[in-house]
Structure 1
Amino acid sequence: MVTQGLKPSRIRNGMARRFGLTESELPTLRQVQWFVSSYSKKNLHRNDDYDQILSQIDQLAYGPTVSIFVWLET
């Protein structure tokens, strides 16, 4: 559900429906929020450093010069 981009409250409600849990058996919303945040950062690379790393890669890979690639028609 995290990989689908669902919000923690929808994930929590989905757990209740899928596994037939009562309100008292469900984890708290805070626990679900922590899990979603942790999972996203670890497995989906959703953190501040990831965007900075990608921008550095773009700068190093393409540099200040522009090159054009064109297929030659024969």
Structure 2
Amino acid sequence: MDLRNFVSWFSLLKITQVFETMSGSEILEIKGADLEMRQDLLKILPPSSYRLINSNETEDEEGFFQLLIEKITLSPQEENQ
């Protein structure tokens, strides 16, 4: 998802909507301009629902960051814990 020109709260909403529709093992690439949005995203996604693959906290040559997260599918037993 390219969120470089979106307001932070709207970006978080769009990411969570897309993340909810993803299947297990799918990877979401997020590009954004607001490092605080990245930190907020990792706070609102349940820690057991994703694996952080790549977190480029430094800005690229255009001033943007990249984040790769993989959705994890929990077994019914893990969900109840």
User: Which structure has the higher relative contact order (CA within 8 Å, separation 6+)?
Assistant: 2
Same fold (TM over 0.5): no
- Structure with larger Rg: 1
The TM-score, its normalising length taken from structure 1, stands at 0.29
